[in-house]
Structure 1
Amino acid sequence: MFHPTALAIVHFPLKLVTRRMLAPSVGHYVFVRDDGQPLDFIPGQFIQVHFQYADGSATKRSYSLATIHDHTLGPGEAVEIAVSYVPGGAATALFEGLPEGGQVDASGPYGRFCLMPADQNQRYLLIGTGTGVTPYRAMLPELERLIGERGIEVVLLFGARTPEELLYGEDFYAFAAKHPQFRFVPCFSREMPDQPHRDVRHGYVQQHLAEFAPNPATDIAYLCGNPNMVDACFETLKEVGLAVPQIRREKYVSSK
């Protein structure tokens, strides 16, 4: 496993290969690096896409890499991100108008929101909302390795408003079916599925976190997504005794 500081940050062009809708307002974009070099990364890291506002001023947006890979990525291999569409958003206009074969400028990889090599915990609590679940999708091969090598357990609490907004749900359900040590717990705040799985919950992830009895002796928690959720869960985890190094967090803020 790479250390999260092992990969050099570089600037590069990305070419769009294909896209599909994950939800009514979220697109799944598949890119390749368009300079003949690989875009390797450590699961949990993100890239930044650089572009200009209509007035010509420079700006950028960050996107966690959603790619599932269990090897070093080579030249020409695809990388994947999830893009939330914000009404009137400059980044939304960029991505919605990007044709297949179109280019964007990017840099990265960035971040330390990764599974750390020195971790000796017995369980990971992975908590996310919206596109904040993308890092956990990328972590699946590493989690599979750790389940096999260290016998860890994993609980993924994922908050969505409705079943059609359960991003990458098919990947997490399939992983849970293959690995009994992995529990996928979707929490729907507005609309429940017609035939809910036994691990489906109604409400927000922060309302159900206590059910899984976070334990400072055994757990490391990851929080990614809506800032209100991240803050609420962080306070809950601190109250039950998790030390700050046991709580790793990233906030996703929608921006125009």
Structure 2
Amino acid sequence: MKQFPLKLVSRRMLAPTVGHYVFLRDDGEPLDYIPGQFIQVHFQYADGTSTKRSYSLATIHDHALGAGETVEIAVSYVPGGAATALFEGLNEGDPILASGPFGRFCLMPADANRRYLLIGTGTGVTPYRAMLPQLETLIRERGIEVVLLFGARTPDELLYGDEFRAFAEREPNFRFIPCFSRELPADPHPDVRQGYVQQFLAEFSPNPDGDIAYLCGNPNMVDSCFEALKEYGLPVPHIRREKYVSSK
């Protein structure tokens, strides 16, 4: 896969250890992607050894990014990490090299389900942000329902939480269920839960006849929810998984 240059446009902190980075493709070419896919960022260790890290696209666009459109990712900072040092050291206008897009963690055109169960933790929620325009279209065209169960330790770590809540306020068929394992917000919304996402699957009665589930984030969460959804009778092709492991 050919590498291409990205130029940093802006960045902001989503959480104490997660940054949201906005880039432009710096060669004037478009990025043809499907929401749910990821890019790889290429760089070198201090000893000159080449390496790369994968980041899901957080960009809210429909399908393809034309030339001049932004490329957005969320980056978790890992103490002592080489990728963390790279991203923390970037200034506006600085270049990086990337390749992609890759991956099949995407909504499928042939899906005929009645509901999507989207389950994520940490930066594993990033692909669901990119899917929002598609979900809005599917709600309009097919009347599907969507439940997003998002696990975080504290309110400060609820990535894109305001955006998901605003989308839920606009779309009655979309429910946003933040699940906090350590600390609740001061004035929690009625859909807020205390605990881990896997504890609340039963509340939504997973149905093998109408549900398709997406699992993204912590590997333990993904494995636990995968086994639980199989017990509810969901066929394996209707449980789509992507595990996120922090790398230095």
TM-score if structure 2 supplies the norm length?
A: 0.98
Within 2, Cα distance between the matches of 1:40 and 1:138?
14
Deviations 1:202-238 (A, max 9, x none): 0110111111111100100000000000000000001
Question: CA offsets per residue over residues 30-85 of structure 1, 9 Å max, x none?
Answer: 00001111123110000000111111111110000001113642111101000000
Q: 192, 198, 206: which is aligned to 1:214?
A: 206
Query: 1:66: which partner in 2?
Result: 58
2:187 equivalent among 195, 198, 216:
195
Moved more, 97-106 or 65-74: 65-74
Write the distance in 2 (CA, Å) between the matches of 1:157 and 1:60: 30
1:165 equivalenced with 2:160 (yes/no): no
Paired residues in the alignment total 248
- Mapped partners of 1:41, 1:79: distance in 2: 11
- State the SS of the aligned residue for 2:159: coil
- C-alpha displacement at 1:113, in angstroms? 0.3
Structure 1 unaligned spans of 5+: 1-8
Amino acid at match of 2:173: Q
Secondary structure at the aligned position of 2:128 is classed as helix
**Counterpart contact for 2:116–2:146, Cα < 8 Å:** yes
Where structure 2 has 5 or more consecutive residues not aligned to the other structure, the ranges are: none
- Supply the distance in 2 between the matched residues of 1:71 and 1:161 (Cα, whole angstroms): 31
Q: Which residue of 2 aligns with 1:232?
A: 224
2: CA distance, partners of 1:172 / 1:67 = 14
Measure the CA separation in 1 of the matches of 2:237 and 2:190: 32
Contact 1:10 1:109 in 2 (8 A): no
User: Quick check: 139-148 or 31-40, which moved more?
Assistant: 31-40
- Aligned partner of 2:30 in structure 1 is 38
TM-score w.r.t. structure 1 length?
Answer: 0.95
The RMSD of aligned alpha carbons is: 0.8
CA distance in structure 2 between the partners assigned to 1:213 and 1:57 by the alignment: 49
